[in-house]
Amino acid sequence: MAWRSVTRTRASRAAGLAAFLGIAVLAAVPVVASRGLVQDLFFILTMLTLAQLWNLLAGYGGLVSVGQQAFVGIGGYALFGFVALAGIDPLLAVPLGGAVALALALPTAFFVFRLYGAYFAIGTWVIAEVTRLSVAQWKALGGGTGTSLPREATGAMWGLEFVEQATGLRSAAARDAIAYWLALALAVATIAGIYALLRSRRGLALAAVRDNPEAARSVGVDAARIRWIVYLAAAFGTGVTGAVIYLQKARISPDAAFSVTDWTAYVIFVVVIGGIGTIEGPILGILVLFLLQNTLADYGSWYLMALGLIGIAVMLFAPRGLWGLISDRTGLHLFPIRRRLEGGTLPDKER
Amino acid sequence: MIWLDTLVQGVLLGGLYALFAAGLSLVFGIMRLVNLAHGDLIVAAAYLILVLVSLTGLHPIAAALVAAPLMFAAGWLLQRGILNRTLGEDILPPLLVTFGLSVVIQNALLEGFSADSQRLPPGDLATASIAIGPVNLGVLSLLTFASAVAVILVLNFILYRTALGRAFRATSDDPVTARLMGIRPDNVFALATGLAMVVVTIAALYLGMRANFDPAIGPARLIYAFEAVIIGGLGSLWGTLAGGIIIGVAQTLGAAINPEWQILAGHLAFLAVLALRPRGLFPRGGM
């Protein structure tokens, strides 16, 4: 038997099966559970998507952005613009939100990629500020104070009537359900997409560029190109997520849509606490965030202070996060991307 | 004449931004550390001065003299206790730790002082002005600019004319060889951050005397500081002053056209420089 390079493990096959069951259960939630639970899960799923995308940038691409709120905000505002001003159906406006984020990312990348290493981080923040200040000048969408989605537009959304009839939900709950399913589909597609990318040749190239750009270039990896791809893909995904988030909120303002705390700080803490550079980490991190939020949210700024301190402590003492600790103890990889050799003629198989 | 006035006010405002930027530039030059909490540390120093003023009744300038050694000690401890552990090849730990620190400082200030805006009482300085030809210059603005120039002169003197500065530059160039020569990088870095915090205190003094401040304004100060550093070109403190002036002038010109465009105009000036001269206007190798 010849040697083969594989990434799958027994645990990853079990995890794949469990994921399918989990997705099926999650998809049924709006039909069987309360609206409050649907909204909680909506928050978890959208934050998870943002966290996975930020992790793709920072954890795999080495591109630490603190300006992802630019793409959340522009995605949300694009949705409002298409729906309220152009009369396009909200469901169609969601992917268009991603397209607008992508269109913003192209000139943005031109600027931020001129900034070396750590300065890239603040450069992305400047872009987010410029976008926020520009959008605040857009008087048709309420300028600095913001605006709401027109009721007629959301009431006539594609699929809404069908969902109402099929599930017996009222109009508002049915709208939440549609937004929830969009968020679920987005989270699944994002995780599957990132996992597929990391297991491909491109993913290998990405890891090589992060770990040693010079060595990667010397074996023929086009470092600049792979960074562009990752940055644009993350911008598109973040824009779509922003559109879904603001479809559900139905009210937008520049300060909320471009909030560095809501769309970048929480996301960074989720990834860092869970485990940066892994797919399992953000999933674990979002559960920690949700538990902390439910127990500490009443304490306002103490809650954010605690999150910041936990994030600092994790970075200093367990830089690979909670999942790193678990994975080190148990050797468990649910989404393995490391290539191992199997088969061959030696009696002891490489484990 | 109104344009000349606007231009001069912009140049003087640039002095404030150069003060924001000098500490950031110093720390980056010596240990390649980008401190995302820099703006929040400036705001924290302003609150420290405010507390000293209200406890003792001192003028803010005298209170800043008391605050400076305290901030030096805080910077030294911060570097020894936390930031030194994050330095290395990987840029993730310092960025993420200082980002966490930024969130912690902001929310600690919010808890301690509420979101109400505060002001350091400048006394007679607030209204004093000198007429030079057709332009009326505020004494406080002039003092800010003069302090920026003085800070840069002193920092350049320390960097290029003292043993401490030699240690800074040696550690910046090659920490391993510097260690062989009997320099302890941990200590050198802690001294550098302490020194940066003294500059931060001076920046905080003028920030608080010129305008209102509240716990949330730190990140915007970080961004102005960063823009000044990049426009000027890494490693040149005089370039940083020029960068601050460009942002200051762009902001006052923008505000003269439409008050809502003030901040945006500064950012656009920065992006224009980044597009045309990505290495800044006055790039220089090393420190």
User: For residue range A5-32, what is the model confidence (pLDDT) as tens digits?
Assistant: 777 777 888 888 888 999 999 998 888 8
Whole-number Å distance between alpha carbons of B23 and B195: 8
Please list every residue in chain B whose beta carbon sits closer than 8 Å to the beta carbon of residue A55: none
Is B107 in contact with A129 (Cβ distance < 8 A)? no
Q: Three-class SS of residue A341?
A: strand
- A266 falls in which pLDDT band (50, 70, 90)? very high
Task: Summarize pLDDT for A46-97 with one digit per residue, the tens.
Answer: 999 999 999 999 988 889 999 999 999 999 999 999 999 998 999 999 999 9
- Residue A268's closest chain B neighbor by CA? B96
Instruction: Extract the tokens encoding B51.
Output: 């507390």
Q: CA torsion sign, A62 to A68 to A74 to A75?
A: positive
Distance, in Å, from the CA atom of A322 to the CA atom of A328, rounded to the nearest integer, reads 10
Token digits of residue B28: 């980056």
B219/A125 touch (CB, cutoff 8 Å), yes or no: yes
- Residue A80 CA to residue A246 CA, distance in Å, equals 8
Does some domain include residue A167? yes
Flag whether A95 is in a domain: yes
Q: Which residues contact B205 (CB under 8 A, 6 or more apart)?
A: B46, B49, B60, B61, B64, B120
Q: Rounded distance, CA B240 to CA B225, Å?
A: 9
Task: Please name the amino acid found at residue B47.
Answer: Y
Q: Which amino acid appears at position B272 of this protein?
A: A
> Is the per-residue pLDDT at A1 higher than 60?
no
Closest residue, chain A, to B231 (C-alpha): A115
- Top residue of A54, A126, A255 to mutate, by most chain B CBs within 10 Å, is A126
CA-CA distance, A31 to A146, in Å (whole number)? 32
A89 contact partners, CB below 8 Å, separation of at least 6: A83, A156, A157, A158
- pLDDT at A297 > cutoff 80: no
A8 in any annotated domain: yes
Task: Decide if A348 is inside a domain.
Answer: no
**Which of B73 and A304 is assigned the larger pLDDT?**
B73
pLDDT of residue A341: 74
* Predicted TM-score of the model (pTM): 0.91
From the list B101, B230, B271, which residue is nearest A312 (CB)?
Answer: B101
Mean pLDDT of chain B: 92
Provide mean pLDDT across the span A104-128. 89
Give contacts of B95 with chain A, Cβ < 8 Å. Answer: 64, 118, 121
For testing contact with chain B, the best of A104, A111, A309, A316 (most B CBs within 10 A): A316
pLDDT score recorded for residue A243:
97
Stated as kind and residue range, the H or E segment containing A51 is: helix A35-55
Chain A residue set in contact with B, beta carbons under 8 Å:
58, 62, 64, 66, 110-111, 114-115, 117-119, 121-123, 125-126, 129-130, 133-134, 136-137, 260-261, 265, 268-269, 272, 276, 301-302, 304-305, 307-309, 311-312, 315-316, 319
Instruction: For residue B100, give the chain A residue with the closest CA.
Output: A308
* pLDDT, averaged across chain A: 89
pLDDT of A170:
83
> Using 50, 70 and 90 to split pLDDT, how confident is the model at B282?
confident
Alpha-carbon distance values, B275 to A114, A203, A279, B4, B238 (Å): 8, 30, 36, 28, 21
Q: Is residue A160 part of a domain?
A: yes
Tens digits of per-residue pLDDT, A179-200?
A: 999 999 999 999 999 999 988 8
Task: Note the ipTM here.
Answer: 0.90
Contacts of A350 by beta carbon, 8 Å cutoff, 6+ apart: A340, A341, A342
pLDDT level of residue B1 (50, 70, 90 thresholds): low
User: Does B104 contact A129 at a Cβ distance shorter than 8 Å?
Assistant: no
Q: Is the pLDDT of residue B287 over 60?
A: no
Looking at the domain assignment, is residue A73 inside a domain?
yes
Residue of B nearest to A113 (CA): B278
Q: Which residues of chain A have a CB within 8 Å of the CB of B223?
A: 122, 125-126, 129
Does the structure show a pLDDT above 90 at A349? no
Fold annotation for B2-276: ABC transporter involved in vitamin B12 uptake, BtuC (1.10.3470)
% of chain A residues with pLDDT over 90? 55
Range of A209's domain?
3-258
Alpha-carbon gap, residue A103 to B121, rounded angstroms: 47
pLDDT tens, B28-78?
A: 888 888 899 999 999 999 999 999 999 999 999 999 999 999 999 999 999
3-state secondary structure of B131: strand
Are residues B107 and A126, on separate chains, in Cβ contact within 8 Å?
no
Q: Is residue A163 part of a domain?
A: yes
Does residue A276 contact residue A327 with C-beta atoms inside 8 Å? Answer: no
Q: Please spell the DSSP secondary structure of B76-119, one letter per residue.
A: HHHHHHTGGGG-SS-SHHHHHHHHHHHHHHHHHHHHHH-S--B-
CB contact under 8 A, A305 and B111: yes
Number of domains in chain A: 1
Nearest chain B CA: its distance from A289 CA (Å): 15
Q: Which residues of A touch B91 (CB under 8 A)?
A: 62, 64, 117-118
Segment B193-244, tens digit of pLDDT: 999 999 999 999 999 999 999 999 999 999 999 999 999 888 789 999 999 9
CA nearest A211 in B: which residue? Answer: B90
- Which residues lie below 8 Å from residue B62, measured CB to CB, with a gap of 6+? none
d(CA A112, CA A12): 37
Report the residue of chain B nearest A301, measured CA to CA.
B107
End-to-end CA distance of chain A: 17
Q: Are A202 and A226 in contact (CB under 8 A)?
A: yes
Please tell me the least confidently modeled range out of A335-349, B18-32, B83-97: A335-349
* Distance in angstroms (rounded) separating the CA atoms of residues A50 and A45: 9
- Chain B positions touching A137 (Cβ under 8 A) are 260
* pLDDT value at residue A346: 62
Per-residue exposure over A1-21, b if at least 16 CB sit within 10 Å of its own CB, e if not: eeeeeeeebeebeebeeeeee
CB A276 within 8 A of CB A320: yes
Give me the pLDDT at residue A351, please: 47
In a domain, A38, yes or no: yes
Residue B103: C-alpha distances to residues A174, A306, B113 (Å):
37, 10, 15
* pLDDT tens for each residue of B91-150: 889 999 999 999 999 999 999 999 999 999 988 888 888 888 788 888 999 999 999 999
